Amino acid sequence: MRRPIIAGNLKMNKTVEEAVSMAVALKRKFYTFAEADIVICPPFTALSKVHDEIVDSSIMLGAQDVYWEEDGAFTGEISLNMLRDVGCRYIIVGHSERRNIFGETDEDVNRKVKAVLKHGITPIMCIGEKIEERDNGMTFEVLEKQLSRGLKNLFKDEVMRIIIAYEPIWAIGTGRTATPQQAQEAHKFIREFIERSYDKEAYLKIRIQYGGSVKPENIAQLMSQEDVDGALVGGASLDVNSFSEIVKKAV
């Protein structure tokens, strides 16, 4: 059975003090929680301090992005060595906001996934379609393209270490959520793509999260779907009580 994983993406929110306060509150609630993997992804500025608060707990640290080069003249970028140094165990790669606002391509995502894996960190690779693509019946076509390019030249043992996050772009920050059935259809397609590209073991073991206006009110229904293994939570992760309820109702 695949272990559930709930990750909170704080995006460009919270000062260091606010992020640490949230980490302390979550640690009180989930200090020895063993029923799911819990990951929080604060802004880069708060990573080190948050890590210091959660290091002895069951909560794990994640980053919201990374650059694929080891070091060099890349002003404003963050390297794998830097993120590993502050204790990151997960890194979000290819979030729709990185793709749509900052022009990140599937090829960029592939470079980042490979770099993250090389450093022994778990990538959370995001994929998902726009509303016009869904309305035009292109959802599976878009997902297949993103998967093919994002996972290009990766071996099975590498792919099984990846978390794939299906986040329909039309459901991110809009209050509009994919129905449990829509989420299941997409997750099943993703899992079957993995089987076609690799084998049954990879199909059974890879974990697939849903992301897109996840709330305490809908997490249980989403998690009841056969191929939904967790959630990548955005806005609802900013509130300790809301995020805590999501974790509790997910298992």
**Sign of the alpha-carbon torsion through 80, 83, 85, 88:** negative
218-222-226 Cα angle (round to 5): 165
DSSP 8-state class, residue 226: T
Q: How many helices (H) and strands (E) does the chain have?
A: 12, 8
- Rounded to whole angstroms, how far apart are CA atoms 125 and 6? 14
Q: Are 92 and 124 spatial neighbours (Cβ–Cβ below 8 Å)?
A: yes
To the query of whether residue 167 is one of the catalytic residues in this protein, the response is yes
Catalytic residue among 51, 95, 97, 133: 95
- Rounded to whole angstroms, how far apart are CA atoms 140 and 129? 9
- Rounded to whole angstroms, how far apart are CA atoms 117 and 133? 30
Catalytic residue among 53, 97, 133, 167: 167
- Rounded to whole angstroms, how far apart are CA atoms 62 and 124? 9
Question: Residue 38, SS3?
Answer: strand
| Catalytically active residues, by annotation | 95, 167
